[in-house]
Each structure stands twice: as C-alpha cells, then as structure tokens.
Amino acid sequence: MVWNTLKPSSKNMRLWQLALLVFGLAVWQLLSRDQKIAFFLGEPLQVAGRIWSWFLPWAWPPGGLFPEGLAGRADIYKHLATTLLETVLAFGIGTVGGLACGLWLALAPTASAILAPYIKAANAMPRVILAPIFALWFGLGVWSKVALAVTLVFFVVFFNVYQGVREVSPVVLANARMLGANPRQLLRTVYLPSAMSWVFSSLHTSVGLAFVGAVVGEYLGSARGVGYLILQAEGTFDVNTVFAGIVVLTVCALVLDALVGLAERRLMRWQPRAAVSETL
C-alpha cells in the first residue's frame, strides 16, 4: 500500500525529481570530502557560496561558511546581462532566418535542388572555427558572439522547418486546393500548422545552442560575459566558480526553454498531447 503511494506517477513526479537532485548533491558532497576529488569536481556547498556571493554580495556572511574568492568580486549582473543579450539576439535572428529560409526552399524545389550541396556543406562544417573570423569582422564585442551563435541556431531551425513543410499530407494539400485556397492561404492554413510542431521541437534545442555559441565566443575573446568569468576561474583552477557559472547558465537556459514551452502550449492548443509530454 505504501509502495503504491510512493510509486512514480503524474501526481508525485516532481517529488521524485527533487529527490533525485538531492540524492545527487548528497553523493557529490560526500565525494568532495576527499580533497583530491574536490580539486577536480568542486564542492556543492562552495558552489552554492559562489552563487550566493554573486547575486547577494551585501548578505555575504563575513568569515562564514563559504570563502568569497573570485566570485565575490565578480559583477555577475554585468556579465550575465551580456551573455543573455548575445543569446537572445542569436536565438531571435537564427530562428527568424531559419524559418524564412526553410519555408522558402521547401516551397521552391528548383532553388532547393541548386542550393542543396552548399547547405549540406555549411551544416557539416564545424562552425566553432568561424569564431576568429567573426571576431575579425565584428570585433570582440557582442556581435561576434551573436554571429557565431546564429550559425548554430539557424541550421537546426532551418532543417526542421524544411522537413515539416515537405511532410505536409498530400491529401490535405489537395483538398485545400480543391476548396480554392490560394498560395497565401495554403501557407497560413496548411504549411505553417504542419511545420509548427517541428519548429518548436527545434526551438527547444536552439535555446541551448544559442548559449553554447555565446559562451564559446566569450571564451575565445571577450572582456565580459559568464563565459569570460568561467575562463578566468579556469585560469586560477577555481573549479567551484566554474561549476557556479555552469549552474547559472543552466538555470537561464531552463527559463528560456520554459518560455518557449509556454508559447508552444498557447499556439499549439489544437494538437493533442500525451500525458508524459505534459510532465516533461
């Protein structure tokens, strides 16, 4: 009877997820009691202290549990605002560009056939190597990081939109044409609804890639940003600050992903969803 109550279900799934997180942190803290392991993996309490000193420096307990270190001197709001600006700009530009190009080439077979080898080549290229070129073109400011992140976001959205439009049911398309739908009406009522589930699937992936592009760009040349802060911590072997930066970036990525999910639920109300999808 007790096991049936504790058995994972839609009602207590969040509790199980929280329990898994607590268990993982507890194991991490126990392992970090060995200083050799702590040197490479850090300590959860110290990581929490770094984050506390970033966002609540005025509440820092003098001589308290967590040493202030590099994190206490970091202006996290300046660094975080820079990284978020780069990420949001790259996410928006890459999404709009991928959506427009995906729709265009999916509805223009001739142009698609001509450009196919070049698109495949551009997608196959390891785009991180473009970072020095973008730094040369746009300088070490925000736009070189945005350009790098756009190249990561664009192709994910592009291929999903392209595939979504190409997989429109021929029967639905034929019926819409029989009813007299013009090309604009077909785009609005057939092609776009068909591609929307593909679009939002790509957007969930693109959120993380936008952060990757911004942070990698900051690694390779920047004077501010969370990636720059992590790089500085790596130079002093401050693994706790590195993990603190990773946690902050992860939380920001989850918040942006939640906003994408909110937009998806509002725009995709017509689409039935499985119960497990709602849980995730």
**Residue 216 and residue 134 in contact, taking contact as beta carbons nearer than 8 Å:** no
276: confidence class by pLDDT, cuts 50, 70, 90: very low
87: confidence class by pLDDT, cuts 50, 70, 90: very high
pLDDT in tens, 144-184: 999 999 999 999 999 988 888 877 777 777 777 777 777 77
The average confidence (pLDDT) of the chain is 81
Q: What is the pLDDT of residue 85?
A: 93
The model scores a pTM over 0.75: yes
Q: How confident is the model over 9-17, as a mean pLDDT?
A: 77
**Residue 71 and residue 56 in contact, taking contact as beta carbons nearer than 8 Å:** no
68: confidence class by pLDDT, cuts 50, 70, 90: very low
What single DSSP character describes residue 59?
G
Residues 6+ apart with CB under 8 A from 84: 252
191: confidence class by pLDDT, cuts 50, 70, 90: confident
Q: How confident is the model over 72-90, as a mean pLDDT?
A: 84
pLDDT in tens, 24-51: 989 988 988 888 888 888 888 888 888 8
**Residue 141 and residue 194 in contact, taking contact as beta carbons nearer than 8 Å:** no
Alpha-carbon distance 194 to 161, whole Å?
Answer: 9
Asked if residue 247 has pLDDT above 50, the reply is yes
pLDDT in tens, 91-149: 999 999 999 998 888 888 888 889 989 988 988 888 888 888 898 898 888 899 999 99
Of 51-60, 157-166, 201-210, 238-247, which range is least confident?
Answer: 51-60
Closest CA to 151 of 181, 176, 131, 171: 131
- Match 């970072």 to its residue by tokens: 131
**Maximum average pLDDT range among 52-61, 100-109, 180-189, 246-255:** 246-255
**Residue 148 and residue 216 in contact, taking contact as beta carbons nearer than 8 Å:** yes
Q: What is the pLDDT of residue 5?
A: 60
Alpha-carbon distance 155 to 160, whole Å?
Answer: 8
Q: What is the pLDDT of residue 261?
A: 86
